[in-house]
Amino acid sequence: MHTPPGNHITVLGAGAWGTAVALALSARHNVLIWGRDPLAMAAMDTARENTHYLPGFALPPQLQVTGNLESALAHLDDPAPLLIAACPVAGLRPLLQQLKPHAIPNIVWLCKGFEGGSGMLPHQVVQDVLGEAVPAAALSGPSFAQEVARSLPCALTVASSSLALRESVVASVHGGTMRVYACDDMVGVEVGGAVKNVLAIATGVADGLGLGLNARAALITRGLAEITRLGTALGANPGTFMGLTGMGDLILTCTGDLSRNRKVGLELAKGKALDTIVAELGHVAEGVPCARAVRALAASMDVDMPITNAIAGVLFDGDTPQDMLAQLLARDPRDEVA
């Protein structure tokens, strides 16, 4: 089996996004993808396709597939390895606990959101489980799995306090149709990636109600203001929210038809129950649990987030989409930059 001469990269998580990233990187690097269900991974290896999460994209011969975590970590025996966690936020802590007994060179995560219960951002979960000795980074930005798998252009941002890891991620991931920018504002990158999913649900509701393009533009713009208020309260650089992981990811998720969170909003506008929508979706829509976490965090910090509060009311409090609209339209006027 031919393998590219590049770095050894292990992707932990065989959902749509993990598979797409593994596909994209396997053209230039020696990539192995791991999933927690050995039977499912064996079937994926036999079919050479992720028929459940990313159907229609053949796995190249050089992309290795395993359900054995020991083999996945042994793959990192390389001078410049990269370990990528491609699980949902809810699965990050359990995955890290599996990794804790092992010596890992670094950890880069793709998930976006706040952990349920603790309200932690992913980097806080990583520090809580692994401590600060392991170099850690978030890789985020406007990116749909299907488009990455099709080798369509996209741009991402890697955020880390480790300059060496930032440089390693850029060197490994940047290339071909994928551009990677770097920064050290992990809080800003993660807040933007998390809250935009909540706002995409709200925008989907507005579009589903037929409120028009003017309303969509208003929701996206005022949503960006909410993201910025919360992020800066948490210590982020306000400029981060003008970039790929703020405005860029927000625009994509609120307007793109491939957005799971936007689809949740569209279905809510039809009057469907949330449990039914999530079951029919078949994938994780991070904006749903994130809405609860963000509402609680904003309230505890006295950060004004009216759109988030309104959509959380629809998701969890029995409010209707019409209630959400009335609540937002009834707000008193204010200075735009306040």
With a cut of 90, say whether residue 106 has pLDDT above it.
yes
User: Helices 213-233 and 306-316: crossing angle, nearest 10°?
Assistant: 100
Does residue 242 contact residue 273 with C-beta atoms inside 8 Å?
Answer: no
User: What mean pLDDT do residues 225-241 have?
Assistant: 98
| 179 and 232 inside one domain | no
| 44 and 71 inside one domain | yes
Q: Does 1 map to a domain?
A: no
| 215 and 267 inside one domain | yes
Q: Which of 151, 184, 217 is the last residue of a domain?
A: 184
Distance CA 181, CA 14 (A): 25
Share of the chain above pLDDT 70, in %: 98
Q: Does 337 map to a domain?
A: no
Query: Which domain covers residue 116, as residue numbers?
Result: 8-184
So what's the pLDDT on residue 287? 94
| 102 and 208 inside one domain | no
So what's the pLDDT on residue 6? 81
So what's the pLDDT on residue 59? 98
| 36 and 143 inside one domain | yes
User: What mean pLDDT do residues 49-63 have?
Assistant: 97
Which one of the listed residues 112, 196, 263, 272 is annotated catalytic? Answer: 196
So what's the pLDDT on residue 271? 96
> How long is the chain?
338
| 157 and 291 inside one domain | no
So what's the pLDDT on residue 142? 98
User: What mean pLDDT do residues 222-229 have?
Assistant: 97
So what's the pLDDT on residue 3? 59
With a cut of 90, say whether residue 52 has pLDDT above it.
yes
So what's the pLDDT on residue 5? 63
The candidate with the shortest Cα–Cα distance to 138, out of 197, 97, 69, 187, is 187
With a cut of 80, say whether residue 338 has pLDDT above it.
no
When the pLDDT of each residue in the chain is averaged and rounded to a whole number, the result is 96
Tell me the per-residue pLDDT of 276-325, one tens digit each, with 9 for 90 and over: 999 999 877 899 999 999 999 999 999 999 999 999 999 999 999 999 99
Q: Is 270 a catalytic residue?
A: no
The candidate with the shortest Cα–Cα distance to 218, out of 309, 104, 141, 329, is 329
Q: In the chain, how many domains are there? A: 2
Per the listing, tokens 């349920």 go with: 116
| 177 and 205 inside one domain | no
pLDDT bracket for residue 337 (50, 70, 90): confident
Has this prediction a pTM greater than 0.85?
Answer: yes
Tell me the per-residue pLDDT of 166-224, one tens digit each, with 9 for 90 and over: 999 999 999 999 999 999 999 999 999 999 999 999 999 999 999 999 999 999 999 99
SS3 141: coil
Give the amino acid at 102.
H
Q: Which residues contact 197 (CB under 8 A, 6 or more apart)?
A: 112, 113, 253, 261, 285, 286, 287, 290
So what's the pLDDT on residue 283? 79
Q: Does 2 map to a domain?
A: no
